[in-house]
Amino acid sequence: MFPWHDLLAVLCGSLVGFSLALIGGGGSILATPLLLYVVGLHDPHRAIGTSALAVAVNAFANLVPHAKAKHVQWPAAFAFAAAGMVGAYVGSTLGKMMDGQRLLILFALLMLVVAALMLRGRHGHDGTGYPRRNMFPRLGAVGLAAGGLAGFFGIGGGFLIVPGLVLASGMAMIDAIGTALFCVGVFGFTAALNYAASGWVAWPIAWEFIAGGIVGGWLGAWGARKLSGTRGALTVLYAAVIVVVALFMLAKSLLP
pLDDT averaged over the chain?
84
Residues near 237 by beta carbon (within 8 Å), at least 6 away in sequence: none
Average pLDDT over residues 80-109: 93
Query: How far does CA 88 lie from the centroid of its chain?
Result: 13
pLDDT mean over 245-253: 89
| CB atoms closer than 10 angstroms to residue 222 | 13
Q: Report the alpha-carbon distance of residue 97 to residue 55 in Å, rounded.
A: 22
* Alpha helix stretches (DSSP H) within the chain: 4-23, 31-34, 44-68, 74-97, 100-120, 135-153, 158-169, 173-197, 203-226, 231-254
More confident of the two residues 250 and 29: 250
| pLDDT tens sequence across 19-39 | 776 665 556 788 889 999 899
The band of 1, judged by pLDDT with boundaries at 50, 70 and 90, is very low
Instruction: State the Cα–Cα distance between residues 12 and 27, nearest whole angstrom.
Output: 11
Determine the average pLDDT of the residues in 212-234.
Answer: 72
Indicate whether 5 pLDDT > 50. Answer: yes
- Please determine, for residue 135, whether its predicted confidence score (pLDDT) is greater than 80: yes
Better pLDDT: 230 or 47 = 47
Who's near 17: CB < 8 A, 6+ residues apart? 27, 58, 212, 213, 214, 215, 216, 217, 219, 220
The stretch 180-205 carries a mean pLDDT of 92
- Between 86-90, 124-128, 188-192, the lowest mean confidence (pLDDT) is in 124-128
Q: Is the pLDDT of residue 231 over 50?
A: yes
The predicted pLDDT at position 192 comes to 94
| Res 253: pLDDT | 84
Q: What is the pLDDT, as a whole number, of residue 23?
A: 62
Residue 23's alpha-carbon distances to 73, 100, 176, in angstroms, are 23, 30, 16
Q: Which position has the higher pLDDT, 133 or 87?
A: 87
**Per-residue pLDDT, 2:** 46
- Roughly how many angstroms between the first and final C-alpha of the chain, as a whole number? 34
Cβ(126)–Cβ(166) below 8 Å: no
For the ranges 87-96, 110-119, 135-144, 183-192, the lowest mean pLDDT is seen at 110-119
Contact 32, 184 (CB under 8 A): no
Which 3 state secondary structure label does DSSP give 39? helix
Neighbours of 94 (CB within 10 A): 13
Give the mean model confidence (pLDDT) for residues 68-90.
94
